[in-house]
Amino acid sequence: MTTRSETRTALDHLLTEIEHRNPAQPEFHQAAHEVLETLAPVLAARPEYAEPGLVERLVEPERQVIFRVPWQDDQGRVHVNRGFRVEFNSALGPYKGGLRFHPSVNLGVIKFLGFEQVFKNALTGLGIGGGKGGSDFDPHGRSDAEVMRFCQSFMTELYRHIGEHTDVPAGDIGVGGREIGYLFGQYRRITNRWEAGVLTGKGAGWGGSLIRPEATGYGNVLFAAAMLRERGEDLEGQTAVVSGSGNVAIYTIEKLAALGANAVTCSDSSGYVVDEKGIDLDLLKQVKEVERGRVDTYAERRGASARFVPGGRVWEVPADLALPSATQNELDENDAATLVRNGVKAVSEGANMPTTPEAVHLLQRAGVAFGPGKAANAGGVAVSALEMAQNHARTSWTAQRVEEELTRIMNDIHTTCHETADRYGAPGDYVTGANIAGFERVADAMLAQGVI
C-alpha cells in the first residue's frame, strides 16, 4: 500500500506540473492546490484512485472553448470581447455551471471556477458535472439594447457547444435574469427548439424555478446555521457582516433576517456600508436591483443609522458571523486576523473562493468554523438542477417545495462534509471534508467509466 508520505510527494509533483502546463493562471493554481493538498489521506487509503491516472485526468478539462464576441454599441461602434466555456468534467452528468460577464474574466479564472464546480456539483448528489464560462465584457453602464446585442453574439457561438444533455449554463456575476433571457432567446432563434433545460436561472413564467434567485444566499445561511448547530448554537440574535450587494449578498441578508440574525453591512467596489439598525433590504434591492446604483446611495437614503466607508474593508466591522459574498480572494490573512480579534464564530463562503489560503488556515487555527464555497454556496447550483428536473417534466414546483428541497440538500451537504472529515481524521475541517467527499463521488464514476 502506498504511504501517505509517498502520496503527498506524488501530489506535489502533480501540482508543479499543473503550474508548468497552465502558466499565468494563478486562480486555477490556487484552486488546484486547495483541493489536492487535502487528498493524500484518501489516495493512500484507496490506491485504486491513483492507478489509472485519475487525478491527472481530473485536473485537465475535458474541453476548453475560446471564441471571439463582436458586437455594436448604441453609437454603432464595434467592440470585440473574448468568450469562454470550460467543460471540466461530465462523469456525473452534463456540465453545469454559470456564465460570468466581468472585465476580470480570463481563461485562468474560468478554469478555477470550473474546477471548483466539479466538486460543488458532486456534493449536491444531483447528477451534474462541472463547467464554467463567461466573457471579459462589462455589462455595467451598458444599455439594455447593448447587453442584448452582446448576449446574442455570445450565444451565436456558444449554442453549438451546449444542450440539456450536454452542458447547461446558468448565471453568475454580471449575468442575471436579463442576460439569461437574451441568451435563451437567441438559442431558441438559432436552433428552432424550445429546449428549456439548456439554461437555468430563467424567468419563472417561462421555465424558471421559484427560489432560484435566492438559492445561493439562502443556502449559504443554511450551511452556516448547520455549522453553528454542530457547536450548540443557532443564528438567533447573531450579528453578521456580509460583503457584496449583488444577488448572493441580498438573499444572504434576507435569509439571515428570517432566521433571527442581523446583517449590518453590504459593499461594492466603491466601499462598504455599515448600518447599525441592520440592512434595510427593501432599500438595498431598490438601489441595486432596480436603479443599478452604488451602495453609497443606500447610505444617503437610509439616514443616521448608516454610514458609507469609501474603499474600506467590510471585515473591519465586529460581528459573530462573516459571509463573504462578492468575489474571489476578497478576504485575506489580515482580514481574517481582524475577524478573529473581534470574536467571529463562523465564516461561510457565499462567493467562489473569496478567502485566501492563508486566511483559511488562520481561521481554522483559531477554531473558527469555516464553510468553503464548494459546500456552503452549493445552493444555487442545487436549485438549478431542480429547475432542470422541472423543465424535463414540464412542470413547476411551489416555492415551499423548492425551499424544502434546498434545505434538505444543504443539510445533507453539511452532514456529508462533517462525517467525511471525521472519517479521515480531520474533525471539524469542512475544507477537507468537502474536497474528499466531492472527489470520491467523481472518482468512483470516472473509475466505472474507464480511461476516457
Residues classed as catalytic? 132
Grid cell at residue 158 = 456558444
Alpha helices for 266-350 (secondary structure H): 281-285, 295-302, 333-341
The neighbouring-strand residues paired with 68 are: 82
**Residues 94/118, Cβ–Cβ less than 8 Å:** no
Distance, CA of 158 to CA of 131 (rounded, Å): 13
Eight-class DSSP state of 119:
H
Q: Which residues contact 32 (CB under 8 A, 6 or more apart)?
A: 15, 18, 59, 115
**Residues 123/382, Cβ–Cβ less than 8 Å:** no
Distance, CA of 202 to CA of 134 (rounded, Å): 17
Residue ranges with strand state E in 36-181: 63-72, 78-89, 95-101, 130-135, 167-171
Eight-class DSSP state of 289:
I
From 308, 301, 239, select the one nearest 272 (Cα to Cα). Answer: 308
How many helices (DSSP H) and strands (DSSP E) are in the chain? Answer: 17, 13
**Residues 277/305, Cβ–Cβ less than 8 Å:** yes
Eight-class DSSP state of 174:
T
From 364, 447, 450, select the one nearest 43 (Cα to Cα). Answer: 447
Cα distances (angstroms) measured from residue 305 to each of 108, 241, 262, 300: 41, 16, 14, 10
Distance, CA of 246 to CA of 288 (rounded, Å): 7
**Residues 263/256, Cβ–Cβ less than 8 Å:** yes
Q: Residue 393, class by beta-carbon neighbours within 10 Å (0-12 exposed, 13-18 middle, 19+ buried)?
A: exposed
The residue assigned the cell 457561438 is 157
